[in-house]
Structure 1
């Protein structure tokens, strides 16, 4: 019988494992930052956590688990058991991620049939075996039918939900221990239809087991009409008055549950209930010292109860490390310090990206940490004494000062005008608008021209490489932009400007004295 029981258990577990492999399980609904699932009595702790005053979030509300169970029920005792069955209902609540409590009702019918003659338990007229024992020189063949109502309260410890390498468990192993109050009605088939004991003299108890079982089956009527012997507490509940045993018992067990969805799981459980009583099978054995116990192998269908918008799954289905690992991967709540990156020259560009790591303090640099050279004359701005040197005045000396040649058109200019040095105006990209920086440069040019009213100005644009499309137009518009600014914004007479476009690549418009 034990081998069949374990074969059934192995088959059921294989079926459940296969079903869980095809289960579509959505990610956990648990979020430590979600205060909507925290009860009011723990909201103070949650607020402290959210505001970085505490390292630990409050425990959220979790769903209850309603279970229905049924399976193979046996009594391990003096008499050999035959298959019985049990079933019932349970309600389970999480105390934390590891511990939970489960209240459960189990009703069961257990059967047993010995196949050997044994000495009778003598007890006068109250002994149900008295009639049959009298026919067989004080010998009997024990059998029983035991009906039980059991209420239990078990503490359950989950073993597999705290995982370091997976976000959420799909299988939950657990062990349990607890207390049971059982009402047990034990009856025996001691009398035949005529009210007399069975005559076993025609059965060869030395033969084959199958032959003995068949002979007993044909002889007995299986009506279990007699109360079995019992010791201790009795109450008038059950089919026969004064036959119900009221017993306290210890539970021990283990089980595994397979998650099918966030609302449903299927489990297999083995539970042993020990009332420490020798009469669960109606026969105490020689001396009455054998203690019987119940063995219950069940399949369990479990449903999670509760509003998912206000409650998370039962906590034994949630890995408490999931939130901590998610914070390490993608911080949402973690307070991160401002990164400090080395910048040896203090120019605002970190050493990792600084192409000129030894720029003098205070020197203006570009995004790559290289000292700026506004006029492109090869002398950085922090050394350049002539910040904007016209391109036709280059190359320059060590201080960035260039020597400007006299233009062909202006070689006969008056000495007073010939001595003037006028800057170039820079444009970015394909822009034709005078920038704010260049407006300041042209303002200084206007002041110079007001101080030298006899001097005219040659405004030279650069049309780009020969044949380059659009170059002449761009150059002309830039020249016009410079003249418009000096005439319209600074009040310089337009008649003093001479326009000129020359070949060559440049983003500047050059200004030079001319008459």
Structure 2
């Protein structure tokens, strides 16, 4: 049997060698000019089924942030190795224990996958020290014929196990390269287990002439060598029945639920083949896997026996490479994200007027060379309505405003120099105020009628001038709106009522009045001023 085991391992090694350690070449059919995720292009719809295509299409048009999970290949595998019972009452004979099996595996994602696996194993054991614990069984033991004399426990257990396992690995998630060469994984699962245990209790039809109470030799190696020469390896006797497990009369023997845990490491040889070294423990709750229920003191063994399956396996990925990618537990899910980050273009936001504030936030189309604030509006340090780039008097005191088109102010005369009230104030009398709707520069019908009355008084007093006063200058928007109101009133009186434009003194951005009103008053003797001034912020957006 030992030679067959080595023949099996040699065959597996030859198969690995014939496969070769091929790697994916640059001309591999998966290669595409599009962003790649693992070894395929995420833009290729061939890798998605009908259910996944809905998410894929949303991703392609930018309505969903995540690409769909592609169809991946199935894995099938064969394996062989040592199948033993290391945790038992009888010493395991590892050199004469073997097992083989196969599996089919499918990924659920990049970390977890499911595997259905079948294992057939033969485990053997032999104690090198003599025992008498079998006498506690009475006649219900294959050793009963020895009449209490010491014997050397041995067994040969044939077992089968079919289990469904969940495998977990993180080895494919790589931060510093795109493809892993090996993954470490853990597994856990449940299944059904059958086993049949036999012992070599008879030499033909008679009992063995085992060595005496202390054995022939004092050391393990020599004693085992003597026992191997003595035993005929017939394993003709059924081991003591385990009442805790269901016995069947078929070749299977006992049949019982099982649980398994394990770990392994797989080496990627190519996109189709990988080699795995794995160790599994299989537990079915029996203490009779080795055929022994009682320990040397004739008390019930406290521990349950456990199968151990240490194997070397060769695994193959099945499926069309044009429609399926490698199993997801071999693909690095970070590849796509890193690839997209490398392809992000330089973002250049438009700035039509070149003032350093992008059009998205720019509130004014500023003339070239004018410094602006964070909103793209020309700076006006003294708030006189003339931008700094055109202001010939950069700091004009507030009491000297309003200013002319060059930003130069006209400071008031000292106290007591104001001229006496002219006869025009008495002739024109109290003139009405014109009101506008909030944030509007449209004259209402009532306002137009009021201005008609003002025009009649001006025409009746041709030597009198009037001052048209607009209010509010706290912000650039208020300054511009005040200018608009004053300009609207004067323009209406000139264009619609026929009053000469030199009869008006333009005064906007004053303090102490209603922001939505314009006052009209008679000019004092000697009082003069322009009938129009440049708008403070002509490019200020109306919205």
TM-score bracket, normalised by the shorter chain, equals: 0.5 to 0.7
Partner of 1:494: none
Name which of 264, 281, 289 aligns with 2:273.
264
In 2, Cα distance between the equivalents of 1:294 and 1:168?
Answer: 35
Structure 1 stretches of 4+ with a deviation exceeding 6 A read: 15-21
Partner of 2:111: 98
1:140 partnered with 2:151: yes
1:158 partnered with 2:157: no
* TM-score, structure 1 normalization: 0.59
SS in 1 for 2:284: strand
- Which has the larger displacement, 24-33 or 57-66? 24-33
Once the two structures are superposed, the pairs formed by residues 155-304 of structure 1 within 5 Å of their partners are 155-201=166-212, 204=215, 207-231=218-242, 232-238=245-251, 244-286=253-295, 287-304=300-317
Once the two structures are superposed, the pairs formed by residues 275-354 of structure 1 within 5 Å of their partners are 275-286=284-295, 287-331=300-344, 339-340=348-349, 345=354
* TM-score, structure 2 normalization: 0.56
What do residues 67-120 of structure 1 show as CA deviations (whole Å, max 9, x unaligned)?
010111211211110121111111000001110000011111111000111123
In 2, Cα distance between the equivalents of 1:112 and 1:274?
Answer: 18
Q: 1:202 to 1:55 in 2, by over 3 A?
A: same
In 1, Cα distance between the equivalents of 2:180 and 2:219?
Answer: 51
Task: Number of aligned residue pairs: give it.
Answer: 329
1:109 partnered with 2:108: no
- Which has the larger displacement, 160-169 or 261-270? 160-169
Indicate the RMSD between aligned Cα atoms, in angstroms.
Answer: 3.1
In 2, Cα distance between the equivalents of 1:109 and 1:51?
Answer: 58
Partner of 2:81: 71
Partner of 2:450: none
Name which of 65, 80, 90 aligns with 1:55.
65
Q: 1:309 to 1:21 in 2, by over 3 A?
A: closer
What do residues 488-507 of structure 1 show as CA deviations (whole Å, max 9, x unaligned)?
xxxxxxxxxxxxxxxxxxxx
State the Cα distance separating 1:25 from its structure 2 match: 3.4
State the Cα distance separating 1:198 from its structure 2 match: 4.2
State the Cα distance separating 1:346 from its structure 2 match: 6.7
- Where do 5+ consecutive residues of structure 1 fail to align? 1-8, 10-14, 348-356, 362-515
What do residues 328-382 of structure 1 show as CA deviations (whole Å, max 9, x unaligned)?
1125xxxx796216576579xxxxxxxxx99679xxxxxxxxxxxxxxxxxxxxx
Q: 1:60 to 1:223 in 2, by over 3 A?
A: same
Contact 2:23–2:271 (Cα < 8 Å) also in 1: no
In 2, Cα distance between the equivalents of 1:33 and 1:345?
Answer: 39
- Which has the larger displacement, 269-278 or 284-293? 284-293
In 1, Cα distance between the equivalents of 2:263 and 2:163?
Answer: 15
- Where do 5+ consecutive residues of structure 2 fail to align? 1-8, 26-30, 32-37, 357-365, 371-543
Contact 1:17–1:258 (Cα < 8 Å) also in 2: no
Partner of 1:445: none
State the Cα distance separating 1:264 from its structure 2 match: 0.6
Q: 1:302 to 1:29 in 2, by over 3 A?
A: same
